[in-house]
Amino acid sequence: MASPSITCPICGAKIPNIPSAQDFTCPFCKFERRTAVGVRNESFSQPVPFENISEISDMTLPYIEDLNGYFQEKFAQLKTNNQWYLSTPVNRFYHKPTALPGQINFFNEKNIMFLLEQHGFKMSWRHNRFASILKLIVRKC
Ligand SMILES: [Zn+2]
Residue 51 Cα to ligand 1 middle (Å) = 33
Integer CA distances (angstroms), 126 to 4, 19, 92, 113, in order: 37, 35, 15, 11
Please state, for a pLDDT cut of 70, what percent of the chain lies above it: 92
Distance 66 CA to ligand 1 centre (A): 14
CA gap 50, 35 in Å, rounded: 33
Q: Is 13 exposed, middle or buried (0-12, 13-18, 19+ CB in 10 A)?
A: middle
The CATH class that applies to domain 32-41+50-140 reads alpha beta
Q: What's the CA-to-centroid distance between 28 and ligand 1, angstroms?
A: 5
- Contact in structure between 118 and 111 (CB atoms under 8 Å): no
Question: 124, 83 in Cβ contact below 8 A?
Answer: yes
Helix (H) or strand (E) holding 68: helix 67-77
- 49 Cα: distance to centroid of ligand 1 (angstroms): 32
Q: What is the pLDDT of residues 5-53, one digit of tens each?
A: 899 999 999 998 887 888 999 999 999 999 999 988 766 566 666 778 9
pLDDT at 48: 66
Ligand 1 centroid to 104 CA: how many Å? 15
Statement: residue 102 has pLDDT above 90: yes
Which sequence spans correspond to the domains of the chain? 32-41+50-140
Q: Report the distance separating Cα 125 and Cα 1, nearest Å.
A: 48
